[in-house]
């Protein structure tokens, strides 16, 4: 029995929080946040969305890319 990667998938929550959004609540700026973190924005999960639900969405995309059904997959 061989092991193969047939497809990959990813998922990012649609809601994006920018440094400007964060800076409005804090005494800081986009530039300061970027200089200390190296990021301009981040995707944030909505209420009711967990790492498990996001992983399931990514797995579904991987199976679609591989053209396989869940019952055809031995391990994710």
Work out the percent of the chain whose per-residue pLDDT is above 70. Answer: 99
Consecutive H or E run containing 25: helix 19-25
Helix, strand and coil percent figures for the chain, each rounded to 5: 45, 10, 45
SS3 (DSSP) at 60: helix
Task: Supply the range of the domain harboring residue 55.
Answer: 16-68
* 27 has pLDDT over 70: yes
CA distances from 69 to 4, 6, 9, 10, 74 (A): 15, 12, 14, 17, 11
Count other C-beta atoms under 10 Å from residue 23's C-beta.
Answer: 15
Give the pTM: 0.75
Is 5 within the bounds of a domain?
no
Tell me whether residue 42 is in a domain.
yes
Q: Which residue has the higher pLDDT, 5 or 2?
A: 5
Residue 28 belongs to a domain = yes
Indicate the number of domains in the chain: 1
Of the pLDDT bands very low, low, confident and very high (cuts 50, 70, 90), residue 17 is: very high
Q: pLDDT averaged over the chain?
A: 93
Q: Is residue 76 part of a domain?
A: no
45 in any annotated domain:
yes
């Amino acid at each position: 029995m061989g092991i193969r990667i047939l497809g990959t998938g990813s998922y990012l929550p649609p809601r994006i929080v920018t440094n400007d959004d964060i800076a409005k609540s804090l005494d800081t700026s986009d530039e300061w946040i970027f200089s200390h973190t190296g990021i301009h924005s981040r995707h944030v999960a909505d209420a009711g969305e967990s790492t498990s639900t996001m992983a399931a969405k990514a797995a579904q995309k991987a199976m679609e890319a591989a053209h396989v059904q869940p019952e055809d997959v031995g391990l994710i």
